[in-house]
Structure 1
Amino acid sequence: MFKRSLIILGTVVLLQGCAAAVVAGTASAVTAANDRRTIGSQIDDNNIEIKASIAISEDERLNKFAHISVISVNGVVLMVGQVPNQEMKNQAFKTIENLSGIRKIHNQLRIGSNIGITTQTHDSWLTSKVKAQLLAAENISSNNIKVVTENAEVYLMGLVSDAEANQAVNIARNVSGVERVIKVFEYL
């Protein structure tokens, strides 16, 4: 009897993990299906981000002294973070500029000290607040707008109409704690 109970308990635990995987997979599929980018573009963007992160991490100085994030939407790349000087900012750009699939790079790296965990946590909170406001807004497809926050600066990316871009910027500007909004949109 004990052995049978253990088997049932083990099966229930494993099935709970499967349910979570199914829910996560379904959510990803729905998000991908509602994106204006093709599935191929979404995969290409993911590959660009991975290749850029690897290239930056392989540069000893950038890996040791800089904090750099690379985000790609439809081949348009946004670099955010901190580097100690202009030379390293230029080096970061040169490190990824020839990766395949990149159509344009917005080098928004800031010269200064790396931000701390408190600032990173606050940035995550700001991103969540902006995303929630975009989700609640009418006449805007929030699935097509990527929100990136770095040191209280909010970057908005995606394939949008002029009206959607203007509305998204106004929403982000009015979120408490946002210091600056930078558009990195491509227009339909």
Structure 2
Amino acid sequence: MQKFSIHRVLPLVLAASTLGTALVGCAPVVLGGVALGGIVAADRRTTGTQVEDEGIELHAVNLLHGQYGDRIHVNITSYNRQVLLTGEVPTAADRQRVQELIRSLENVRSVVNEVAAMPSTTLAQRSNDTFITGKVRASLVDAKDLTANAFKVVTERGVVYLLGRVTQREAQRAAALASGVTGVVKVVRMFEYLSEDELSRMSITRPDTTGSGNSSPR
């Protein structure tokens, strides 16, 4: 997920490109959910799709910054070219305009607009969302029947959004774990569903190159 702050994003890109080769054999560099240094394969998206998702997020940040500067608070998360928008903008018209701008970007397959027309959240509220995200991720890591790297977690105003290519069993389990975390107001599933057979084949071969799956925000 990319936070809407171009001053923060560009140094991260430069740092990742510099350190990507320097840290071979060390802990992976993680940028917006895509791990560098050999961990990319743990993600159920193809490597090409992961790169596309990173490109979508970075281009979206640039586009919104050019249009709005620091007058809005919008978080951009792209998973398998489906873009989740969260945060706050001043008016309903701004909300619609943000969606249209992001939908116009190359490689974007669909947009789920969860941006609210309201005053921006405070630093304390955003810190709390970050804390909730960390607790949800920790619960996924602790669950021995789940692959934590298959999930992306986004939290906005206490609402947890779960993204990933998962089976129905994994989706239900992850949603139940997230719902049990203190401070979570609601859990929204934005999964693309795999059959158990597809998941079994994934453990043997690389993920398919089509990025297939039924997108089911609910």
TM-score tier by shorter-chain length is 0.7 to 0.9
Secondary structure of the residue that 1:99 maps to in structure 2?
Answer: coil
The question of 1:168 aligning with 2:145 is answered no
* Aligned partners of 1:31 and 1:143 also within 8 Å: no
Cα distance in 1 for residues equivalent to 2:49 and 2:175? 24
Q: Do residues 24 (structure 1) and 27 (structure 2) align?
A: yes
Secondary structure class of the residue paired with 1:146: strand
Partners of 1:140 and 1:116 lie apart in 2 by: 33
Amino acid at match of 1:48: I
Match of 1:33 among 21, 41, 55: 41
Q: Which residue pairs with 1:46 in the alignment?
A: 54
State the distance in 2 between where 1:166 and 1:149 align: 18
Distance 2:181 2:119 in 1: 26
* Alpha-carbon separation, structure 2, partners of 1:80 and 1:48: 15
**In the TM superposition, what is the alpha-carbon distance from 1:135 to its structure 2 partner?**
0.6
Aligned length: 170
Alignment of 1:8-23 (within 5 A): 21-22=23-24, 23=26
1:65 offset after TM fit, Å? 2.5
- Residues 1:157 and 2:160 aligned together: no
Equivalent-residue separation in structure 2 for 1:187 and 1:29 (angstroms): 28
1:29 deviates by 3.2
Structure 2: give runs of 5+ residues left out of the alignment.
1-18, 30-34, 195-218
Q: Is the 8 A contact 1:147 1:157 kept in 2?
A: yes
TM-score, length of structure 2 as denominator length: 0.73
Cα deviations by residue, 1:29-58 (Å, 9 ceiling, x for unpaired): 343111111110100000000011111111
Residue identity over aligned pairs, in percent, reads 34
Cα deviation for residue 100 of structure 1 reads: 1.2
2:192 match: 186
Give a deviation string over 1:75-114, Cα, whole Å, max 9, x none: 1110000011110000100111111111111000012110
The answer (yes or no) to whether the contact 2:164–2:190 under 8 Å persists in 1 is yes
Aligned counterpart for 1:97 among listed residues 103, 119, 122: 103
Q: AA paired with 2:27?
A: A
Give the one of 86, 94, 97 matched to 2:92. Answer: 86
Where do 4+ consecutive residues of structure 1 move more than 6 Å?
A: none
Which runs of 5 or more structure 1 residues have no equivalent in the other structure? Answer: 1-16
Contact kept, 8 Å, 1:77 with 1:106, in 2: the verdict is: yes
Q: Distance in 1 between matches of 2:184 and 2:28?
A: 32
CA RMSD in angstroms, aligned pairs only: 2.0
State the Cα distance separating 1:160 from its structure 2 match.
0.7
> Helix, strand or coil: the match of 1:114?
coil
Q: TM-score, normalised by structure 1?
A: 0.84
Q: Which moved more, 1:22-31 or 1:140-149?
A: 22-31
Q: What is the CA distance between 1:151 and its match in structure 2? A: 1.1
